[in-house]
Each structure stands twice: as structure tokens, then as C-alpha cells.
Amino acid sequence: MDPLVLGLLVAVVTIIVLFSGVSVAVGLLIVSAVFLLIFDGARSLEMMPEIFFADLNSFTILSIPMFIIMGAAIASTRAGADLFEALERWLTRVPGGLVVSNLGACALFAAMSGSSPATCAAIGKMGIPEMQKRGYPDGVAAGAIAAGGTLGILIPPSVTLIVYGIATETSIGRLFLAGIIPGLLLTLLFMAWAIFATWRSGNTAVLSPRHYSLRERFEILPRVVPFLVVIAGVLYAMYGGIATTSETAAVGAVLCLVMAIVIYGLWKPRAIWGVLRDSTRESVMILFIMAAAGVFAYMMSSLFITQSIAQWIAELDVNRWVLMGLINLFLLVAGFFLPPVAVILMTAPILLPILQAAQFDPYWFAIILTINMEIGLITPPVGLNLFVINSISPNISLRTILWGSAPFVGCMIAAIVILCFVPELVTWLPDLVMGPV
């Protein structure tokens, strides 16, 4: 069978298997085993266990569970609520300052936790009811939190960028730096739209500032500053040449656990056990997908599907930006149905050589890919963040949440367009700190 036709068959079967309700990792293993058995013989199955475990045999992978523990420790405390309160008190004089405070809290909490659902839940539980109480439109309130939660996979430390770095053998430290300015850009675009939508609603009451004394502004800082210091310390250790990514992640995890115990009284064994249990579950899920994706990639390569797709795309006589547009469309559709980790592991190794041949920077593409994955988090049919918001605010209909999130999808598309015209927004900071590639 022609490898391209076989590749199309693999794609169709994979989609069917994943839509059957099987977990992503198990689905990839089933598809890999079946196609290897049919088209490459039973002996090819002997390599599957070795490849499965070989893909996990990397010291860098230790950073994933460590950063997840770091985020889980923060998510189990009132840090999200305190971030929201602190920013509200300091940004109260900004028109529509409450929604701006929520988005700022989402950005900061995302930087600490690296988890989009955790960010939505932590900030939304307090932020959405408060915005509703002050008269903000339900769509703006829910959409802002849903969109703000997506920043968790872009602003470092990001588990998604770690997975991309491992899958493509690119520098994780450089990827983290590459995500900072685009993350800030996306946050500012979200804030701009939220302020405009609030103003357009015509409710002048929500635009009037609420007065806080200087004492009220400063009294909440001791609760949030230590966590921000931990984030700054983690980034300094990583880029100051003090520790590797995995070592930095381990130190950050310990410090966040200590901070959670000291500041928020997370000292009960049951609470600490909950943090470790949830972290283990999420880590195992991600590592299982990574190992299964490695087997899937082996199957694709053994049957010459990967090579044939790469050659076919390389031979297309199209402008490189047309090629990038088609890839973005593909990633967008994939992100509608699959979690970011699965999309990255399944597509990045195939797409990266093609993009490098077309003279696209791999670090720039990592950010473009991640923003595409962010869109998938607030669009149906999966739209994980939409359902998180619906679960914490059942009084807001899913339809309202969906329509409230739609303009923020436009902001993400605008960010992709801006980064295409000004790629230096991605590459400048990594080149400044770590030198040109």
C-alpha cells in the first residue's frame, strides 16, 4: 500500500479509536500494535516495550512531575483567591478594573501552576461571582476566566512547552523564555477586549472605581509575594546557570510545598497526601501519553508514513506562509478534539523538519502551536475550560460561556497573526539571554 494512503488510513482509524472513549495513550498503543502487526509482521511488536520505556528514559522528563507538584501545591491553597484580591485592590482605579484584575490573576496563577483547568477553577470560584455581583455581563465574566485559564500552557513554567522540548529535542529553557512576551501580549489583548466589552455593555456602575486604603492594599501582599518570589527564583536558577531544568523544577516543588504549609497551613497529612496523589495521577497520565506517542511515532516511521508525508509536503509548490496557514488550520482542528500534550507528541516530530526546511524557527513555531492548543481549550466539542467554568458557575449557561469566550478566540488568532508579522516577539528574549541559536 502507498505510504500516503496508509497514512490516511492510520489517521482515520486513530480518530475512530480515540472517539470511542478509549484513553489517548491506550488508543495510540492499540492503533500502533494493529498496524505494525498487519503491515510489518509480528516480529515488529517485539520492539514496542523497548521503545515504550526508552522514551521515558530521560532525566529531563523528571521536570514534568516536579512542575506538576509545584502547581498542585499552589492550586490546593487560597493563592488564587489572594492573587485576585491583591490585584483588585491595586487595579481598582483602572476602568473595568475587576475584569482586568481577574485576567491578571489568571496570568500570574498560570505562571505558578502551569495548569489551565486549575487556573480557571482557582480564579473563577471567586472572580466570577464577584463580577456578577458588580454588574459585569455574564459572558464577559465567564469568557475572561475561561480564556485567562488557557495562559497556563503558554506562560512558563509550562508543562506543554516541556513536552514540546522533549519531543523535538529543543532547549526547554529557551522555550520558556520564548513564551514570556507572547504570554504578556495575549494577556494584554484579553484585557483590552474585556474592557471594551464591559464598556459596550453600557453599565457605568461596573466602570466606577472602588476605593481601597493604602493599608488594605499592602496587607494582602505578604500572602502572594512569596509565591511570586519562588517563580522568580525558579527562573533565575534556570537561566543563571545554577541548576538544570529538572533540578530547578525539584527545588521549586519543594519551595511551593513549604510555602503552602507555612503561609496557608497545608500541614495536615491528608492535605499533603492529596497534593501528591493528584500530582501523581496527572504526571502518570502525561508520561503514559508520551510513551504511547513514542510507540506511535515508531509505527509511523517503520511504515515510512512520516517520511512520505514530509516528502509530499516538501514537494508542494506553495509559498511557505501558505504552508504555515495549512499547518495552523490542521493544528486548530486537532486541538478541538485532542489534549495539547497528545497533539504535540503526535505532530511535532513530523512537522518540525518540514518547518525548518521552510526556514521557520522551531521556537517560534512552538509558541504558534501552543496558542493553537489554547484555542482548543475554549472551543467545542472538547473545550475543557468551558466545562470547568460551567461546573463552578452552574447559574451561567454553557451557551453564554461559549459566546463569551468566542471573542477571546479572536484575540488568540490576532496574536498568531501578530507573531507571524513580528517573530522577534518570540525570539528576541531567548537570543538576548541565551545567545542566538
Domain residues of the chain, as ranges?
Answer: 1-432
Alpha-carbon distances of 339 from 82, 342, 373, rounded to whole Å: 29, 6, 8
Residue 6 DSSP label? H
pLDDT at res. 413: 94
pLDDT at res. 209: 57
249-270 pLDDT per residue, tens? 888 888 888 888 888 888 888 8
**Does the pLDDT at position 427 exceed 90?**
yes
47-72 pLDDT per residue, tens? 888 888 887 887 778 888 888 888 78
CA–CA distance, 385 with 406 (Å, rounded to integer):
13
What is the CB neighbour count within 10 angstroms for residue 426? 25
pLDDT at res. 387: 82
Under the banding of pLDDT at 50, 70 and 90, the label for residue 210 is low
CA–CA distance, 95 with 398 (Å, rounded to integer):
28
pLDDT at res. 248: 85
Residue 58 DSSP label? -
CA–CA distance, 419 with 426 (Å, rounded to integer):
7
**Count of alpha carbons within 13 angstroms of residue 268, beta-carbon side:** 6
The burial class, CB within 10 Å (0-12 / 13-18 / 19+), for 382 is middle
Residues 6+ apart with CB under 8 A from 144: 99, 102, 103, 106, 131, 190, 194, 404, 408
The residue behind cell 510507540 is 295
Under the banding of pLDDT at 50, 70 and 90, the label for residue 206 is low
Under the banding of pLDDT at 50, 70 and 90, the label for residue 159 is confident
Distance of CA 340 to the CA centre of its chain: 7
85-99 pLDDT per residue, tens? 888 787 776 666 778
Under the banding of pLDDT at 50, 70 and 90, the label for residue 21 is confident
**Does the pLDDT at position 100 exceed 70?**
yes
Residues 6+ apart with CB under 8 A from 55: 290, 291, 293, 294, 295
pLDDT at res. 178: 94
Residue 213 DSSP label? -
Q: What is the average pLDDT across 192-220?
A: 75
**Does the pLDDT at position 338 exceed 80?**
no
Taking alpha carbons only, the member of 335, 260, 285, 242 closest to residue 71 is 260
Phi, psi (5° rounding) for residue 22? -70, 145
